[in-house]
C-alpha cells in the first residue's frame, strides 16, 4: 500500500480509502446494512493497510456512521483517520452545525473526527452556509478538538469550485474524478488547482458509480487486452488515478469482500507517475471509444429546460447514452422506469418543439425522445 502526504499536513494516508456508502445490505434495502459483513470488510481493509475511512450523515438511511462506529471499536479507531460530512442542507441556523456534529460524534462513538467535510457543496448551499457563519463554526470546532481538519466535497461547475477553494484555509477537498470525467465539475483542472494550494485531494466516483468496472464494450475490452489481458477494467481506471501525484487518496465504495480484495490488490501495485506512455495512450483511446458510443450528442447545457410538460430532456439522454456506452441498458431502463419521476420521462413529450428551437446543438429532440422511450421504456 502506498501512503501519500495529506496536503500540507505532516502525516500520510493510504492511497486507497474505504468509502462507506455502498455496504452490503439485507433484502436490497439500502438502510438495512448487513453489519457483520460490513464490519468484517472495514477491519480487513484496516488490517491490510487502509487508514482512511470515509462516511457521511445520510449514507444508508443515516445508518452508515453507526456501523462505522461499531467497526472502529476494539482498537481500530486508533489505527485510522476518520472522515465524515456535515448534512449542510439541514442547517437552518448557526446552532444546527454543532447539533449535527454532536449527533455524529455519538453515532461514531468517538470524541473527535479527523476530517470533517461540508457535504456536497454547490453554489446555493455554499451561499447558505456563509449566511449561517460556517467559517466561525469550523474555527470553533477545530479549537475545541471536536474536528481536526476542515474540508468540503463538491458538486457544481468548475468556477464555483475555485470560489469555494479560495474562501477558507481548507485542509482538503473531495471531488469526482475518473478518466471519463476529466472536465466534469472540478475535473483535472480543479485537482491541479487544489494541490497547488497545498490541499489534499480526495477522489470520489473513481469508477463512475461502477460503470468503469463492469463489462466494457468490445472496442474498449480489446484495447485493454491488447496490452495486458490479466488487468481488469477497474484496474485500468484506478491505476490511471493513482498515477496523478496530486491525488491524495481514492475512495472506493465496496459492497463485497471480493471487491475489497481486488481494490487492495490494485492499490498494492500502483503508485504515482507509474503509467508509461503506451498505457496512457490506451486510456485516451478507451475514453474516445466510449464517447463514440454516445447515442445523443447532448452537452447538458439545459437550454431546452424547463420543458413546458416537465420532461427532463438532459436526464433522459444521459440514461440513454450511459446504457449504450457502458453495456448497461438494463440498468438504464431500471432507472428510467423506477427512479425517474414519471412526469419527467421521455414518454411525456407532446412534440411541441419548443426544445428544438432552443437547442444550440440543433438536435432532433422530439425524434430522439421517441428513441429513448423505445429503448428504455417498459416492454
Q: pLDDT tens across 11-38, in order?
A: 999 999 999 999 999 998 999 999 999 9
What confidence category does residue 253 fall into, taking pLDDT thresholds of 50, 70 and 90? confident
The residue-averaged pLDDT of 132-156 equals 97
State residue 366's pLDDT score. Answer: 97
> Does residue 159 surpass a pLDDT of 70?
yes
The residue-averaged pLDDT of 156-181 equals 96
Give residue-wise pLDDT tens across range 188-201. 999 999 999 999 99
Give residue-wise pLDDT tens across range 65-74. 999 999 999 9
% of the chain exceeding 90 in pLDDT: 89
Q: Are strands 29-33 and 12-14 parallel, antiparallel or unpaired?
A: unpaired
The residue-averaged pLDDT of 161-169 equals 98
Q: DSSP readout, 315-346?
A: HHHHHHHHHHHTT-HHHHHHHHHHTS-GGGSG
| Burial category of 272 from C-beta neighbours within 10 Å (exposed 0-12, middle 13-18, buried 19 and up) | middle
Per the prediction, the chain carries an average pLDDT of 95
The superfamily in CATH containing domain 3-284 is: NADP-dependent oxidoreductase domain (3.20.20.100)
State residue 93's pLDDT score. Answer: 97
The residue-averaged pLDDT of 143-171 equals 97
The residue-averaged pLDDT of 80-87 equals 98
Does the global pTM surpass 0.85?
Answer: yes
State residue 297's pLDDT score. Answer: 83
State residue 361's pLDDT score. Answer: 80
What confidence category does residue 214 fall into, taking pLDDT thresholds of 50, 70 and 90? confident
* SS3 state of residue 176: strand
How far, CA to CA in Å, does 134 sit from each of 98, 104, 198, 335?
11, 17, 21, 36
What confidence category does residue 302 fall into, taking pLDDT thresholds of 50, 70 and 90? confident
> Does residue 133 surpass a pLDDT of 90?
yes
> Does residue 379 surpass a pLDDT of 70?
no
> Does residue 215 surpass a pLDDT of 90?
no
The residue-averaged pLDDT of 290-298 equals 89
> Does residue 126 surpass a pLDDT of 90?
yes
For residue 240, the surrounding DSSP H or E stretch is helix 233-242
Q: Are 100 and 91 within 8 A, CB to CB? A: yes
* Ranges for all domains in the chain classified under CATH 3.20.20.100: 3-284
Angle at 207 between CA 108 and CA 187, to 5 degrees: 95
State residue 262's pLDDT score. Answer: 94
Amino acid at each position: 500500500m502506498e501512503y501519500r502526504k495529506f496536503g500540507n499536513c505532516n502525516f500520510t494516508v493510504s492511497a486507497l480509502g474505504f468509502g462507506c456508502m455502498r455496504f452490503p445490505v439485507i433484502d436490497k434495502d439500502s438502510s438495512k446494512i448487513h453489519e457483520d459483513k460490513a464490519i468484517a470488510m472495514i477491519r480487513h481493509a484496516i488490517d491490510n493497510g487502509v487508514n482512511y475511512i470515509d462516511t457521511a450523515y445520510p449514507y444508508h438511511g443515516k445508518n452508515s456512521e453507526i456501523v462505522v462506529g461499531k467497526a472502529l471499536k476494539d482498537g481500530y479507531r486508533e489505527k485510522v483517520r476518520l472522515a465524515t460530512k456535515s448534512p449542510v442542507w439541514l442547517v437552518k441556523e448557526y446552532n444546527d452545525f454543532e447539533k449535527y456534529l454532536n449527533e455524529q460524534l455519538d453515532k461514531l462513538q468517538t470524541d473527535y473526527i479527523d476530517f470533517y467535510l461540508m457535504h456536497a457543496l454547490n453554489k446555493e448551499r455554499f451561499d447558505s452556509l456563509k449566511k449561517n457563519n460556517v467559517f466561525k463554526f469550523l474555527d470553533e470546532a477545530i479549537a475545541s478538538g471536536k474536528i481536526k481538519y476542515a474540508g468540503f466535497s463538491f458538486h457544481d461547475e468548475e468556477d464555483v469550485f475555485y470560489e469555494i477553494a479560495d474562501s477558507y484555509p481548507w485542509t482538503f477537498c473531495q471531488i469526482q474524478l475518473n478518466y471519463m470525467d476529466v472536465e466534469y465539475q472540478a475535473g483535472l483542472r480543479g485537482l491541479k488547482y487544489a494541490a497547488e494550494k497545498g490541499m489534499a485531494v480526495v477522489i470520489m466516483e473513481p469508477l463512475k458509480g461502477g460503470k468503469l468496472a463492469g463489462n466494457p464494450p468490445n472496442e474498449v475490452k480489446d484495447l485493454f487486452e491488447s496490452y495486458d489481458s490479466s488487468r481488469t477494467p477497474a484496474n485500468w481506471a484506478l491505476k490511471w488515478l493513482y498515477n496523478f501525484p496530486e491525488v491524495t487518496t481514492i475512495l472506493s465504495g465496496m459492497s463485497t469482500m471480493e471487491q475489497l480484495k481486488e481494490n487492495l490488490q490494485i492499490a498494492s501495485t500502483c503508485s504515482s507517475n507509474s503509467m508509461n506512455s503506451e498505457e496512457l495512450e490506451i486510456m485516451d483511446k478507451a475514453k474516445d471509444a466510449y464517447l463514440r458510443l454516445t447515442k445523443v450528442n447532448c452537452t447538458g447545457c439545459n437550454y431546452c429546460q424547463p420543458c413546458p410538460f416537465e420532461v427532463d430532456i438532459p436526464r433522459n439522454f444521459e440514461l440513454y447514452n450511459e446504457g449504450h456506452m457502458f453495456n448497461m441498458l438494463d440498468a438504464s431502463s431500471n432507472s428510467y422506469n423506477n427512479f425517474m419521476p414519471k412526469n419527467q420521462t421521455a414518454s411525456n413529450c407532446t412534440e411541441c418543439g419548443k426544445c428544438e428551437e432552443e437547442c444550440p446543438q440543433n438536435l432532433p429532440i422530439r425524434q430522439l425522445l421517441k428513441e429513448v422511450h423505445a429503448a428504455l421504456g417498459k416492454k
